[in-house]
Amino acid sequence: MSDQNPPPAPEQPKYGETRPTEQYGQPQQPEYGQPAYNQSASAQQPYGQTAPAPSYGQAPTAPQYDPYAVPPPQAYGQRTNTLAIIALVLGLTIPIGGIVTGHIALGQIRRTGESGRGMALAGLIIGYAYTALVILGIIAYILFFVVLFSTAGLTHSSGYNYNT
């Protein structure tokens, strides 16, 4: 076996220094198997980002990504009519209020083009249905007592016969 020593590793440059053979502005072959920077692939950005189009006289630059930046506020959809929300809540709790505010909300939605038509209709339907159920319950309650008292008067017998 021959005694072969590997060649000494090149000395690493200190921070801020360049190797004597390197010059700025020229792409160098990367070390340790890192992929080379390709001038033609500069249009591709990592993670699916695209570079903004350069203005006249400017070189293209990579977009700056700040992972700690607060995202810009998003525009939410159309504004919801407030009376439509109130109509839905009142339709569940106070049905007459749901009916009244539901009709007013539908008129405002038709005039202004706001969203919330479904909530206003739900408040109206629930309000009308709840009101109808309450009215039917009151009628049934009254009929129950009318039938109870009318049958109680007909079947009243004390067990004694007063005709003799």
Grouped pLDDT means (10 residues each) for the chain, 164 residues: 66 66 57 54 54 62 73 75 96 95 96 94 97 97 93 65 64
Is 105 contained in some domain?
A: yes
Handedness of CA 95, 97, 99, 105 (dihedral sign): negative
Is 109 contained in some domain?
A: yes
Q: How far is it, in rounded angstroms, from Cα 99 to Cα 88?
A: 9
Is 12 contained in some domain?
A: no
Instruction: Write down the residue that tokens 């220094």 correspond to.
Output: 17
| Dihedral, 85, 83, 100, 132 alpha carbons, nearest 10 | -10
Q: For residue 68, what pLDDT is reported?
A: 79
Q: For residue 9, what pLDDT is reported?
A: 66
Is 142 contained in some domain?
A: yes
Is 24 contained in some domain?
A: no
Is 4 contained in some domain?
A: no
Q: For residue 69, what pLDDT is reported?
A: 78
Q: For residue 64, what pLDDT is reported?
A: 74
Q: For residue 71, what pLDDT is reported?
A: 72
If you ran DSSP here, which 8-state letter would residue 8 be given? P
Is 117 contained in some domain?
A: yes
Total number of domains constituting the chain: 1
Q: For residue 142, what pLDDT is reported?
A: 97
Taking CA atoms, 128 is separated from 90, 95, 98, 136, in Å, by 11, 7, 8, 12
Q: For residue 161, what pLDDT is reported?
A: 64
Is 90 contained in some domain?
A: yes
Q: For residue 31, what pLDDT is reported?
A: 57
What residue numbers bound the domain in which 94 lies? 82-153
